Structure 1
Amino acid sequence: MTHSLPAPETAAASPLARLGTDGLEPKNWITAITLLTGWHADRLAGVGWGFVAALFCGIIPILFIKWGERRGHWGDRHIRRRQDRLLVIPGIMVSVAVCITLLLVCNAPNEVTALVAAMLASLVAVLAITTAWKVSVHTAVSSGAVVVATLMYGPWALAAYPLVALVGWSRVRLRDHTLAQVLVGTALGAVTAGCVFGLMR
């Protein structure tokens, strides 16, 4: 008698893992860090620019992903198959590049522009690795966001790193990534976003 393989997700057995992956998905980290960066750069006026960055770097990309999901181009918003990511990431990069252009033309606060440039640099690095290996975007984004927040607000922001660990654990628990993939994503996001933001701000 043959037996079907278990489903790749184990959300029913681990609601916390599903919460870590869905509740702390990249869009939510991007929205939070863009608004925090805008506030740090120019208080309420800066928050307005943060909303612009959140729109192009978080909201439009997730709408693009959901559009492709509805048409069957890829499985779901987490884009589990590596080959699908090779299509999705360049599309997101276009939106982020448009955002940088808009911020520069409109003379947005430098920290907001630096943040979006850091996001684009991280996407380039993730795409390069994805051509051969499935690195975790979830941990890259979350780790990069914590490092950027630390550069702006000080070491206390590092207290958010347990949330990054929760994200990484959830990706492994749901069998979407290996431990190596989430660790590399964590390091990649921290180094790339931290260096680019730190140099450009």
Structure 2
Amino acid sequence: MSVVLHPFAVFALLTLRTVQLLAPQATPHALIGVAAAIVVTWLFVIQRRRSGRWGTVDASHRSERPLLYAVLLGVLAICWWWMRERAAALAPGIAAVAAMLVVAALCNRWIKLSLHMASMAFAAVSLSALSPSWALAGAVLLPLLGWARVRMARHTLMEVIGGTVLGAVAALALQVWVG
């Protein structure tokens, strides 16, 4: 579950579904942007893991998270710049995800919120107005993903719940923002 519903996969599908619905002409640019963002982030993660600086590829220790957040926010800034004219409709979503990551980074001192859960909740809630069937699928998968994160001992129940709430609130804020 954790691999199949990894934030990279969730955000790739969310981006592609959203661009199909809101700006289909921008699909090639969205594919390039998402692929580049995933490759750059994944190369960073692999480098940290192979060098022994991280215990897992999930940045499972809170001390590993600040640098991950910085890289993710940098990648999102580049994605926003890349998509700014090609798919302006995606800009609010990129900003909402960035805000979600900033909140997770600020909370990291006290709790290591599950980014897996935050991304899945964000996708499910943000798609509720655009693609209800996709939103329902995301909502149905949330408990399974939460169970997997706790079962693998990557997160506590509170970290899973906190990540879910963070993702849902960020998506609700996005919906209010875009109307």
Q: If the length of structure 1 is used for normalisation, what is the TM-score?
A: 0.81
C-alpha separation between the residues in 1 aligned to 2:69 and 2:134? 32
- The share of aligned pairs that are identical, in percent, is 27
Match of 1:35 among 16, 23, 29: 16
Task: Report Cα offsets for 1:123-171 as digits up to 9, x if no partner.
Answer: 1111111122111111001110111111212366223212111111101
Match of 2:83 among 87, 90, 103: 103
C-alpha separation between the residues in 2 aligned to 1:37 and 1:52? 15
Q: Is 1:81 matched up with 2:56?
A: no
User: RMSD over aligned Cα, in angstroms?
Assistant: 1.9
C-alpha separation between the residues in 2 aligned to 1:137 and 1:166? 15
1:175 match: 153
Deviation at 1:98, TM superposition (A): 1.4
C-alpha separation between the residues in 1 aligned to 2:130 and 2:14? 11
Instruction: From the CA coordinates, give the structure whose radius of gyration is larger.
Output: 1
CA contact (8 A) 2:120 2:138 kept: no
Match of 1:196 among 161, 174, 179: 174
C-alpha separation between the residues in 2 aligned to 1:186 and 1:118? 15
Gaps of 5+ in 1: 1-19
CA contact (8 A) 2:16 2:27 kept: yes
Match of 2:5 among 3, 24, 30: 24
Gaps of 5+ in 2: none
1:163 match: 141
Q: If the length of structure 2 is used for normalisation, what is the TM-score?
A: 0.90
CA contact (8 A) 2:123 2:135 kept: no
Aligned length: 179
C-alpha separation between the residues in 1 aligned to 2:177 and 2:93? 11
CA contact (8 A) 1:65 1:77 kept: yes
C-alpha separation between the residues in 1 aligned to 2:20 and 2:127? 11
C-alpha separation between the residues in 2 aligned to 1:152 and 1:69? 37
CA contact (8 A) 1:117 1:197 kept: no
| Equivalent position SS for 2:130 | helix
